[in-house]
Amino acid sequence: MSTIDPILWNDWHPVAETCTLLSGPPVETVLLGVPLVIAADADGAFHARRTDDVPLHQDERYGLVWVCLGTPERPVLAIPEADEPDRPAVTVGSIRVQTAGPRVIENFLDLGHLGYVHARYLGDDPHTQVLPYKVDALPEGGIIATGCKMFQPQASPAATEGFMVDYVYKVERPLATCLYKANPVHRDRFDVIFLFAQPVSEEESIAHPLLLCLPDGTTAADLRTFQQLIFMQDKPILENQVPKRLPLADGAELPIAADKSSVAYRRWLSKIGMTYGVIPAQARAA
Amino acid sequence: MTMVPGNWYAVAAEHDVPAGHIYRTALGGNDQAIRELAIWRASDGAVQVWEDRCPHRGVRFSLGEVVGDELRCQYHAWRFAKGGACTFIPAQPDMKVPGSIHAKAWPVAVSAGLIWTGVDPVGEPPVLGEGAAIRAVPVARPLAEVETALAQADLPGLALTLQPLGDTETIVRGLVANGDCAAADRALAALRRQLECVA
Amino acid sequence: MILYDAHHVAPAYAVRLLAGFLGLPLELQGMDVYPGHDDRSDEFLALNPLGTLPVLVDGDTVFTDWQEILAHLALAHGPDWYPATDPALVGWLGIARDLAASAGAARLMQTFCVPGDLAEAKAQAERLLDEVERRMWFAERAGHGWLLAGTHPTIADIAAFVSIAPCEDGGLSLRDRPALRRWCDRVRFHPGFVPMSGVFPPMANT
Span A73-89, pLDDT tens digits? 999 999 999 999 989 99
Residue A1 is predicted with a pLDDT of 54
| CA–CA distance, A30 with A37 (Å, rounded to integer) | 8
Question: Which amino acid, B84?
Answer: G
Whether B72 and B88 have beta carbons less than 8 Å apart is answered as no
Question: Which residue of B9, B14, B15, B165 to mutate against C (max C Cβ within 10 Å)?
Answer: B15
Confidence of residue A204 (pLDDT cuts 50, 70, 90): very high
Give the mean model confidence (pLDDT) for residues A218-233. Answer: 93
Whether C19 and C69 have beta carbons less than 8 Å apart is answered as no
Spatial CA neighbour of A195 closest among A187, A182, A185, A205: A205
Whether A267 and A249 have beta carbons less than 8 Å apart is answered as no
Q: Is the pLDDT assigned to residue A286 strictly greater than 90?
A: no
Asked if B55's CB is within 8 angstroms of A116's CB, the reply is no
Q: H-type helices in chain C, by residue range?
A: 10-22, 42-47, 66-77, 88-99, 105-112, 118-141, 155-164, 178-189
Spatial CA neighbour of A112 closest among A211, A227, A268, A255: A255
Non-local CB neighbours of C46 within 8 Å, separated by 6+ positions? none
Task: Supply the DSSP symbol for A203.
Answer: T
Task: Supply the DSSP symbol for B3.
Answer: B
Find the CB nearest B25 among C176, C182, C202: C176
Cis peptide before C35 (omega within 30 of 0): yes
Whether A15 and A29 have beta carbons less than 8 Å apart is answered as yes
Confidence of residue A285 (pLDDT cuts 50, 70, 90): very low
| CA–CA distance, A168 with B180 (Å, rounded to integer) | 63
Query: SS3 for B113?
Result: coil
Query: SS3 for B64?
Result: coil
Residue A283 is predicted with a pLDDT of 61
Spatial CA neighbour of A260 closest among A114, A141, A150, A110: A110
User: A81-284, what's its fold?
Assistant: Naphthalene 1,2-dioxygenase Alpha Subunit; Chain A, domain 1 (3.90.380)
| CA–CA distance, A17 with A66 (Å, rounded to integer) | 9
Which chain A residue lies closest to C111 (C-alpha atoms)? Answer: A96
A11, A17, A21, A25: CA torsion to nearest 10: -90
Asked if B56's CB is within 8 angstroms of A255's CB, the reply is yes
Spatial CA neighbour of C168 closest among B63, A192, B134: B63
> Looking at A2-158, which runs of residues are DSSP E strands?
13-17, 27-31, 34-40, 46-50, 57-61, 64-68, 89-91, 95-97, 134-137, 143-152
All CATH 3.30.70 domain ranges of chain B, comma separated, are 129-198
| CA–CA distance, A234 with A240 (Å, rounded to integer) | 10
Residue A103 is predicted with a pLDDT of 98
Asked if B23's CB is within 8 angstroms of C181's CB, the reply is yes
The answer as to CATH 2.20.25.680 being correct for domain A1-76 is yes
Q: How many CB atoms lie within 10 A of CB A45?
A: 9
Asked if C182's CB is within 8 angstroms of B24's CB, the reply is no
Which residues in chain A have their CB less than 8 angstroms from residue B100's CB? 254
pLDDT in tens, B157-188: 999 999 999 888 999 999 999 999 999 999 99
| CA–CA distance, A124 with C128 (Å, rounded to integer) | 37
Handedness of CA B121, B123, B124, B126 (dihedral sign): negative
Question: Which amino acid, A101?
Answer: G
Which chain A residue lies closest to C112 (C-alpha atoms)? Answer: A95
Residue C146 is predicted with a pLDDT of 98
First to last CA, chain B: 18
| CA–CA distance, B117 with B13 (Å, rounded to integer) | 12
pLDDT in tens, B116-143: 999 999 999 999 999 999 999 999 999 9
Confidence of residue A156 (pLDDT cuts 50, 70, 90): confident
Give B99-106's long-range contacts (Cβ < 8 A, gap of 24+). B100/A254, B101/A254, B101/B55, B101/B56, B102/B55, B103/B50, B103/B51, B103/B54, B103/B55, B103/B61, B103/B71, B104/B50, B104/B51, B104/B53, B104/B55, B105/B48, B105/B49, B105/B50, B106/B37, B106/B49, B106/B50, B106/B51
Give A34-39's long-range contacts (Cβ < 8 A, gap of 24+). A34/A69, A36/A67, A38/A65
Pairing type for strands A278-279 and A134-137 reads unpaired
Residue C72 is predicted with a pLDDT of 98
Residue C47 is predicted with a pLDDT of 96
Q: Which CATH number fits domain B7-127: 3.40.50.2300, 4.10.520.10, 2.102.10.10, 2.40.50.140?
A: 2.102.10.10
Give the mean model confidence (pLDDT) for residues B104-116. Answer: 96
Which ipTM score applies to this complex? 0.95
Whether B133 and B153 have beta carbons less than 8 Å apart is answered as no
Which residues in chain C have their CB less than 8 angstroms from residue A124's CB? 204
Pairing type for strands C55-58 and B70-72 reads unpaired
Asked if A232's CB is within 8 angstroms of C38's CB, the reply is no
All structural domains of chain C with their residue ranges: 2-80, 88-189
| CA–CA distance, C151 with C67 (Å, rounded to integer) | 21
All CATH 2.102.10.10 domain ranges of chain B, comma separated, are 7-127
Look at chain B and count its residues. 199
Query: SS3 for A253?
Result: coil
Residue A175 is predicted with a pLDDT of 98
Which portions of chain C are predicted below pLDDT 50? 205-206
Kindly report the average pLDDT of chain B as a whole number.
Answer: 94
Which residues in chain C have their CB less than 8 angstroms from residue B139's CB? none
Handedness of CA A45, A48, A51, A56 (dihedral sign): negative
All structural domains of chain A with their residue ranges: 1-76, 81-284
User: A121-155 burial by CB neighbour count: b if 16+ within 10 A, else e?
Assistant: bbbbeeebbbeebebeeeeeebbbbeebbbbbbbb
What superfamily would CATH give domain C2-80?
A: Glutaredoxin (3.40.30.10)
pLDDT in tens, A113-142: 999 999 888 888 878 899 999 999 999 999
> Looking at A229-284, which runs of residues are DSSP E strands?
246-247, 278-279
Kindly report the average pLDDT of chain A as a whole number.
Answer: 93
pTM for the model:
0.96
pLDDT in tens, A229-269: 999 999 999 999 999 999 999 889 999 999 999 999 999 99
Question: Domain B129-198 belongs to what architecture?
Answer: 2-Layer Sandwich (3.30)
Residue C132, phi-psi category: left (phi > 0), alpha (psi -120 to 50), beta (remainder): alpha
Q: How many CB atoms lie within 10 A of CB C159?
A: 29
Give the mean model confidence (pLDDT) for residues B74-98. Answer: 96
Q: Is the pLDDT assigned to residue A205 strictly greater than 90?
A: yes
Helices A220-239 and A101-109: angle between axes, nearest 10 degrees: 110
Give the mean model confidence (pLDDT) for residues B85-111. Answer: 96
Find the CB nearest A235 among C38, C198, C204: C198
Spatial CA neighbour of C13 closest among C196, C200, C199, C187: C196
Which residues in chain A have their CB less than 8 angstroms from residue C169's CB? 232, 235-236, 239
Spatial CA neighbour of C176 closest among B35, B25, B167: B25
- Least-confidence region, from A162-171, B66-75, B142-151: A162-171
Whether A102 and A174 have beta carbons less than 8 Å apart is answered as yes
| CA–CA distance, B196 with B133 (Å, rounded to integer) | 24
Rg (CA), chain B: 18
**Cβ neighbourhood burial of A165 (10 Å; 0-12, 13-18, 19+):** buried
Asked if C38's CB is within 8 angstroms of A95's CB, the reply is no
Give the mean model confidence (pLDDT) for residues A209-218. Answer: 91
- Least-confidence region, from A181-185, B40-44, B102-106: A181-185
> What class is the C88-189 domain?
mainly alpha
pLDDT in tens, A7-45: 999 999 999 999 999 988 999 999 999 999 999 999 999
